[in-house]
Amino acid sequence: MGRRLRRMRKDGDRAGRGGVWAVGGVFTAVAFVAAGALGAAQPGTGISEEVVQLTQFGPALAVGAVAVFRRRRTRELLRGGTQTAAGSRPLGGALLLGAAGLIVALSVLGSYAVGGEAHFTPPGSLHHPFVLIAVAQLVGACGEEVGWRCFLQPLLRIRLGTLASSVTVGVLWGAWHVPVFAQAPAYAAGFLVATTAMSVLLGSALDGVGGWRRLLLAGGFHTLVNLGLLLFLDEESGAVPPMLCFGLSCLVVAAAAAALGAGRRAPEPAAPATLHGT
């Protein structure tokens, strides 16, 4: 009887592992395809990319696609089905949002330091009302983060732990921005450093936080970074120095946050032996 139970647990563990990778693979494939389709459709909608890029809703559509055949697991992940380690105290929401402002500030200072011209774009000079842009940017950022930080990162955390899952999601998140790779290799490298570092920062800060709070904090962080870059840095021009400064700034802030939280965390618990429903 004991041997049979051990065999059943082993089979369940294998099924759980396969389920995690299968669900993650479906999510990633749909996120890429949906983003491409939405980007191709945007010119015909009349919606300005200055307001919001429709590609941002690709990850949200991917979550919906996974929910069709893994409804219970999707609901658990979005509600915060994975818990932080006992004794761990993730960074507070105010510190996380403040980190977004610090990233922008360091990016601007770095651009000046290397002889660049970090420019300020007055909100009134934009083609659309800044309030409209800010609200639309928050909606778009949440469209991304419901997929990356509220679904895929908690899913992979089950098997990889917080750090490895955050790095994995950061690389995928960066690769998902396909047009970046049409730029110079150094530009693309700086962007990948930025997405990976921000993913590690978010994954650590939001570990154990679920539901709407997780989505709003991740979306708020994302929105503040986007708005800061829009107003203070011309990193989308294809110029390499601003993007490298941005990537290094993200790395510095993520490292500082890791050092700040190092003494506040207990060791992560071992991964569960089974993962039924995935």
Question: CB within 8 A of 3, min separation 6: which ones?
Answer: none
Question: CB within 8 A of 83, min separation 6: which ones?
Answer: 208
| Rounded Cα gap, residues 7 and 141, in angstroms | 44
Predicted confidence at residue 8, as pLDDT, reads: 33
| Rounded Cα gap, residues 277 and 106, in angstroms | 44
| Rounded Cα gap, residues 107 and 132, in angstroms | 25
Predicted confidence at residue 114, as pLDDT, reads: 78
Mean pLDDT value of segment 51-61: 95
Sign of CA dihedral 20, 159, 155, 59: negative
Res. 275: pLDDT tops 50: no
Nearest CA to 253 out of 149, 145, 100, 108 is that of 100
Q: Could you tell me where the beta strands, DSSP code E, fall in 48-106?
A: none
* Rg (alpha carbons) of the chain, rounded to whole number: 20
Res. 106: pLDDT tops 90: yes
Predicted confidence at residue 116, as pLDDT, reads: 64
Res. 44: pLDDT tops 80: yes
Helix, strand or coil for residue 128?
coil
The token pair that represents 203 in the structure block: 């994954």
Res. 209: pLDDT tops 90: no
Predicted confidence at residue 9, as pLDDT, reads: 39
Q: Of how many residues is the chain composed? A: 278
| Rounded Cα gap, residues 174 and 149, in angstroms | 13
Mean pLDDT value of segment 239-244: 88
Question: Which is more confidently placed, 194 or 265?
Answer: 194
Least confident of 48-52, 84-88, 130-134: 84-88
Predicted confidence at residue 178, as pLDDT, reads: 92
Res. 262: pLDDT tops 80: no
Instruction: Classify each residue of 40-64 as buried b or exposed e, where b means 16 or more C-beta atoms within 10 Å of its C-beta.
Output: eebeeeeeeeebbbbbbbbbbbbbe
Token look-up 């978010």 returns: 202
Q: How confident is the model at residue 277 (pLDDT cuts 50, 70, 90)?
A: very low
Least confident of 6-20, 105-119, 155-169: 6-20
The token pair that represents 107 in the structure block: 């990016």
Predicted confidence at residue 91, as pLDDT, reads: 62
| Rounded Cα gap, residues 207 and 153, in angstroms | 10
Least confident of 45-54, 120-129, 266-275: 266-275
| Rounded Cα gap, residues 205 and 212, in angstroms | 15
Mean pLDDT value of segment 137-145: 97
